[in-house]
């Protein structure tokens, strides 16, 4: 006798029928039929297991479950609107790129390039050659190369130039960088032996001199670019360290971190040591990031004396840490802005730093009107961020939103998630649910949107999103008031 199938199984659609659902069909154009069919089979298998175990079809409906599951096929890396006022936001990708930089990267990515090919001789070339002259032109160094990031540049310089020798560093410079990585841990991976001198707050030239032995290969200075020690402090000047190192036949390596090529004092900020200053002071190798104050793609830049840079380029680690063609093209285009003298107008990081508060106020007022009467325009401070100029801020004007009362799920456009919250966290989450997401900051129970870090081309998107969220909250409150 054949068992009668559970009617619940008959309610399940076939894969073809599920893919033909009007709500599912648009996803096929976005993701392709086969990937979506694979997800459909997986969802149907789960529903069959649920029927077998519990005797019923679970909620939600199969098509809705497939739509929800298909979200995993979307790229996880997306463009966001940075309204936090943090200019170099590490979590949001650090420095946005100039138009010329983006175009240069696109050209390098289209078809083939002479990445490692000499078109004049028809022979193999070096990818390091594409940046050498440009880096020298803007820094005054004899030679330069670039690798994947600044930690990689530091690792390569120590491995190539110091072998297993000793490297002297001040205890006040044994810093921790982003993600919990510590400079001492990075240095030890190169094989060198660290020799710590001085104290956390005071290190004198005599401390370095007294630590030099026959095994000493270099003196290393690490600029405190992501913190500041104030008060009873002392650090040996770079030019004095250079004189001591060269007198004893040692190298001086200077890790600047932030990569400033312009004088930050011109914009009301504290002085940040520039790469050019370190080169002039006599450092043999100067290291910095490409995607902080320099304003380019992620890279670790090393400039300095030709013999040392050449030794770094020949070391086996150079191949493991090298840049790809698009990053090389983008970095070259970014550096060209400095050579042409238009960095402040063309590189977004510097354009943001140079923008006056009154210009930002006009944009903040337009956003405020879109969300009236819940928003006001207020004075605030923008920060540099990204391990650069710690504690330094710039005057700005923000759109400050009092979070509307309402259900957080309805604010975000999703299903209701509970009772009225009306808090800043819910409103900030609703902004992040926009396409593209808008990332703001919260202060004193209000949501602040800083136009300094928002591309003006996104102003309309910000205004429309604010208007939509505030209107939705107002509509929800009207029936509640009637009750």
**Residue 402: is it exposed, middle or buried by C-beta count within 10 angstroms (0-12/13-18/19+)?**
middle
Residues 121 and 226 in one domain: yes
Does a structural domain hold residue 1?
no
For the chain of 483 residues, list the mean pLDDT of each consecutive stretch of 10. 60 87 88 91 89 72 88 90 96 96 97 95 95 97 97 95 94 75 80 91 94 97 74 86 98 94 95 96 97 97 98 97 97 98 98 96 96 94 87 94 64 38 84 96 95 97 95 70 50
CA distances from 133 to 139, 316, 338, 470 (A): 10, 23, 13, 54
Question: Which residues are registered as beta bridge partners of 303?
Answer: 144, 286
* DSSP class per residue in 224-238: --S----SS-EE--H
Does a structural domain hold residue 212?
yes
Token pair for residue 33?
A: 């039929």
> Which helix (H) or strand (E) element contains residue 427?
helix 424-432
**Residue 115: is it exposed, middle or buried by C-beta count within 10 angstroms (0-12/13-18/19+)?**
middle
**What pLDDT does 418 receive?**
31
Question: Which of these, 333, 324, 320, 238, lies nearest to 294 by C-alpha position?
Answer: 333
Residues 278 and 167 in one domain: yes
Residues 460 and 363 in one domain: yes
CATH number of 183's domain: 3.40.640.10
Residues 367 and 330 in one domain: no
Does a structural domain hold residue 121?
yes
Report how far residue 432's alpha carbon sits from residue 442's, in angstroms, rounded to the nearest whole number. Answer: 13
Q: Of the residues 346, 363, 388, which one is the last residue of a structural domain?
A: 346
Does a structural domain hold residue 157?
yes
Residues 279 and 154 in one domain: yes
Residues 132 and 264 in one domain: yes
**What pLDDT does 59 receive?**
61
Q: Of the residues 323, 346, 369, which one is the last residue of a structural domain?
A: 346
Residues 328 and 416 in one domain: no
**What pLDDT does 13 receive?**
86
Q: Count the domains in the chain.
A: 3
Query: What residue numbers bound the domain in which 282 lies?
Result: 97-346
Residues 191 and 331 in one domain: yes
Kindly compute the dihedral angle of the four CA atoms of residues 68, 74, 80, 86, in this order, to the nearest 10 degrees.
90
Residues 6 or more apart whose CB falls under 8 angstroms from that of 98 comprise 295, 333, 334, 337, 346, 347, 348
Does a structural domain hold residue 420?
yes
**What pLDDT does 225 receive?**
63
Per the CB < 8 A criterion, the answer to whether 396 and 450 are in contact is yes
**What pLDDT does 29 receive?**
87
Q: How many residues does the chain have?
A: 483
Residues 406 and 463 in one domain: yes
Does a structural domain hold residue 394?
yes
**What pLDDT does 47 receive?**
87
**What pLDDT does 232 receive?**
72
Q: How far apart are the first and last CA of the chain?
A: 61
Report how far residue 246's alpha carbon sits from residue 97's, in angstroms, rounded to the nearest whole number. Answer: 38
Residues 19 and 114 in one domain: no
Residues 230 and 250 in one domain: yes
Does a structural domain hold residue 383?
yes
> Which helix (H) or strand (E) element contains residue 401?
strand 393-401
**What pLDDT does 229 receive?**
67
Report how far residue 104's alpha carbon sits from residue 4's, in angstroms, rounded to the nearest whole number. Answer: 67
Outline where DSSP puts E strands in 153-305: 166-170, 193-197, 202-203, 216-222, 234-235, 251-257, 285-289, 300-304
Question: Which residues are registered as beta bridge partners of 394?
Answer: 382
| DSSP, res 368 | H
Residues 164 and 196 in one domain: yes
């Amino acid at each position: 006798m054949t068992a009668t199938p559970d009617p619940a199984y008959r309610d399940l659609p076939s894969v073809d029928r599920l893919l033909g659902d009007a709500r599912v069909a648009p996803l096929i154009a976005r993701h392709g039929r086969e990937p979506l069919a694979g997800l459909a089979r997986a969802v149907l298998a789960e529903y069959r297991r649920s029927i077998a175990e519990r005797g019923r079809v679970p909620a939600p409906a199969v098509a809705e479950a497939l739509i929800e599951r298909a979200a995993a096929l979307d790229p996880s890396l997306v463009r966001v609107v940075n309204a936090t006022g943090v200019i170099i936001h590490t979590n949001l990708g650090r420095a946005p790129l100039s138009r010329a930089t983006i175009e240069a990267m696109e050209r390098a990515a289209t078809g083939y390039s002479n990445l490692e090919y000499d078109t004049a001789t028809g022979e193999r070339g070096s990818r390091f050659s594409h940046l050498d002259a440009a880096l020298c032109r803007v820094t005054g160094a004899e030679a330069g190369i670039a690798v994947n990031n600044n930690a990689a540049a530091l690792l390569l310089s120590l491995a190539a130039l110091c072998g297993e020798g000793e490297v002297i560093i001040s205890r006040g410079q044994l810093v921790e960088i982003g993600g919990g990585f510590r400079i001492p841990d990075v240095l030890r991976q190169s094989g060198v032996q660290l020799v710590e001198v001085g104290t956390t707050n005071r290190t004198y030239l005599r401390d370095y001199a007294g630590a030099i032995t026959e095994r000493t290969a270099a003196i290393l200075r690490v600029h405190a670019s992501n913190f500041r020690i104030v008060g009873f402090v002392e650090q040996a000047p770079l030019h004095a360290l250079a004189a001591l190192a060269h007198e004893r036949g040692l190298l001086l390596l200077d890790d600047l971190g932030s990569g400033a090529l312009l004088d930050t004092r011109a914009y009301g900020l504290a002085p940040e040591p520039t790469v050019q200053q370190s080169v002039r002071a006599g450092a043999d190798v100067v290291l910095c990031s490409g995607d902080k104050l320099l304003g380019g793609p992620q890279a670790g830049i090393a400039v300095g004396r030709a013999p040392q840079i050449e030794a770094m380029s020949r070391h086996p680690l150079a191949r493991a840490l090298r840049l790809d063609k698009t990053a090389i093209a983008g970095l070259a285009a970014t550096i060209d802005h400095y050579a042409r003298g238009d960095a402040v107008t063309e590189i977004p990081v510097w354009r943001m730093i140079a923008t006056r508060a009154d210009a930002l106020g006009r944009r903040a007022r337009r956003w405020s009107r879109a969300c009236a009467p819940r928003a006001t325009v207020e004075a605030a401070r923008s920060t540099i961020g990204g391990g650069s100029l710690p504690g330094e801020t710039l005057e700005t004007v923000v759109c400050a939103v009092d979070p509307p009362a309402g259900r957080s799920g309805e604010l975000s456009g999703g299903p209701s998630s509970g009772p009225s919250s009306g808090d800043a966290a819910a409103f900030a989450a609703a902004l992040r649910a926009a396409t593209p997401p808008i990332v703001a900051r919260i202060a004193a129970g209000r949501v602040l949107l800083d136009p300094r870090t928002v591309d003006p081309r996104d102003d309309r998107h910000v205004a429309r999103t604010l208007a939509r969220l505030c209107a939705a909250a107002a509509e929800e409150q009207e029936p509640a008031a009637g009750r």
